């Protein structure tokens, strides 16, 4: 499958059209995003590394691209980014295994 048809290139035109369809919502979301990614108890680089990990778990290609470039701008190394991705991978795999308890519980009921 051609990935460009599944995930279209983000353009200013598409972004502007999306924003115009819900201008109050996009303004609120942009302000929320700006606030969340400001340095606080966590520095900006760490927040971007978290966002990369979450982007991989939620499987959002746009988030992965945006936060990877932001993390690098904030000083993250390629090694730090890959390590964050591996943490996300472990958590995703761990969640799948942990949820096996639900299947086990159901199988026990069928005996």
Residues 8 and 5: their CA atoms lie apart, in Å, by 6
For residue 30, the enclosing domain spans 13-41
Are 33 and 49 members of one domain?
Answer: no
35 in a domain, yes or no?
A: yes
**Residue 51 resides in a domain:** yes
DSSP calls for 27-76: HHHHHHHHHHTS-SSS-HHHHHHHHHHHHHHHT-HHHHHHHHHHHHHTT-
97 and 87 both lie in a single domain: yes
Residues 36 and 57 in one domain: no
Tokens of 102: 């639900």
Residue 61 and residue 5: Cα distance in Å, rounded?
Answer: 13
Instruction: Report the domain count for the chain.
Output: 2
* pTM to 2 decimal places: 0.84
pLDDT in tens, 8-64: 888 999 999 999 999 999 999 999 999 999 999 999 999 999 999 999 999 999 999
């Amino acid at each position: 499958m051609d990935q460009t048809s599944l995930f279209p290139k983000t353009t200013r035109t598409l972004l502007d059209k999306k924003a115009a369809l819900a201008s109050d919502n996009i303004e609120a979301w942009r302000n929320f995003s700006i606030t969340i990614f400001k340095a606080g108890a966590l520095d900006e680089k760490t927040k971007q590394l978290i966002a990369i990990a979450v982007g991989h778990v939620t499987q959002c290609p746009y988030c992965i691209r945006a936060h990877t470039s932001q993390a690098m701008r904030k000083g993250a190394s390629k090694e730090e980014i890959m390590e964050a991705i591996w943490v996300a991978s472990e958590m995703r795999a761990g969640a799948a295994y942990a949820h096996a308890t639900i299947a086990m519980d159901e199988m026990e009921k069928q005996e």
